[in-house]
Amino acid sequence: MHKQNGAVSWDIPDCCVLAAQSKMELSEYEQQRLRNMATNAAALEALGIEPVAKTTKTPPRPNKRSREPRPPTRQSSRSRSLPVPAYTPGQDEVLAEERRASEVEEGSRMQDGKWLGERFGEIQGVPVGTVFGAGDYQRLGRQEMMVSGFFRPFVTPEWCTPGVGCFAIIVNNDNGASQDRGDSILYAGSGGRRRGQNRTAPQSFDQDWTNATNSALRLNFETGEPVRVVRGPKLLGAHGTAESGGGFRYDGLFRVASAEMVRSPTSGLLTAMFELRKVCGGEAEGAQAGGVSA
């Protein structure tokens, strides 16, 4: 665009001129586009409207000079005042051995390194009728049994070792499949539920013998090793501890008299069922001196 004698005149864009020179090479659409651009330019010139100034591209900024990475430094004054932590190879093993020695001294572990209850049979110092967490109806008894080493698992109701068997079970609450008859217990196995569901949830699929609990209890049935039975405050019926002051009560040794997969008449799903019978007549067979079996 340029002004002459007060009048504004528009210049045809260079692209239009160049394109017009080579119309033979343009398509019908491109030729119509050039004609439209020329018509628009003439209309703007007649109205005295100045064209928008062409924008120029901003040149790219030069890249910042890369800096050499610096080692991390302590920023706070409190951190600077603390000594630099040091790791001594083998320190974890030393601390674990010291903790193990302390547990042996306290009696929660035996000299062989195993927990107090990590074995079959009676446990020295824990006679039948001992109540853990007396007066409590929640998990205090579980905590006391775990700390003492008598029953280490804090959540699961069985204490099993794969390939060895089941040392003890806690009869407290399930989905109603188990039946406690006092001197005999019909105990429902584990598994058959969705991830995150506990024993109170109904089964969703069949149980099987690959389950660690089920295979361990079946191994007790095959070897004849006894299982220690602990009853809790949520056990329904006359054999729980709710009416006697709560807590978890050790009720002696039981042997696994049968182990079989039974199909539920209601759900149609397979459930591992174990019949446990109380061992009568003094100390259990196989108990060593001091009340601990091999």
Q: Does the pLDDT of residue 151 top 60, yes or no?
A: yes
The answer to whether position 194 is within a domain reads yes
Q: Are residues 6 and 133 in the same domain?
A: no
Comparing CA positions, the residue from 248, 264, 259, 257 lying closest to residue 171 is 248
Same domain assignment for residues 30 and 123: no
Q: Are residues 27 and 128 in the same domain?
A: no
Q: State how beta strands 158-161 and 2-4 pair.
A: unpaired
Residues 253, 158, single domain; the answer is: yes
Residues 116, 33 within the same domain? no
Say how far apart CA 218 and CA 220 lie, in whole Å.
5
31: containing domain: 2-47
Largest interatomic CA distance in the chain:
130
Q: Are residues 26 and 123 in the same domain?
A: no
The answer to whether residues 250 and 228 touch, using CB atoms and an 8 Å cutoff, is yes
- Which tens digits make up the pLDDT trace of 8-28? 455 555 555 554 555 557 888
In a shared domain, residues 153 and 18: no
Report helix, strand or coil for 104: helix
Number of domains the chain is built from:
2
**116: CATH:** 2.30.280.10
pLDDT in tens, 100-144: 999 999 999 999 999 999 999 999 999 999 999 999 999 999 999
207, two tokens: 């149980």
In a domain, 99, yes or no: no
In this structure, is residue 135 part of a structural domain?
yes
Cβ atoms of 253 and 148 within 8 Å: the answer is no
SS3 for 97? helix
pTM, two decimal places: 0.65
Task: For residue 91, tell me if it sits in a domain.
Answer: no
Question: Rounded CA gap, 48 and 207, in Å?
Answer: 90
Q: Is residue 78 part of a domain?
A: no
Question: 127 and 14, same structural domain?
Answer: no
Task: Write the pLDDT tens digit of every residue in 200-223.
Answer: 788 889 999 999 999 999 999 999
Do residue 41 and residue 116 come from a single domain?
Answer: no
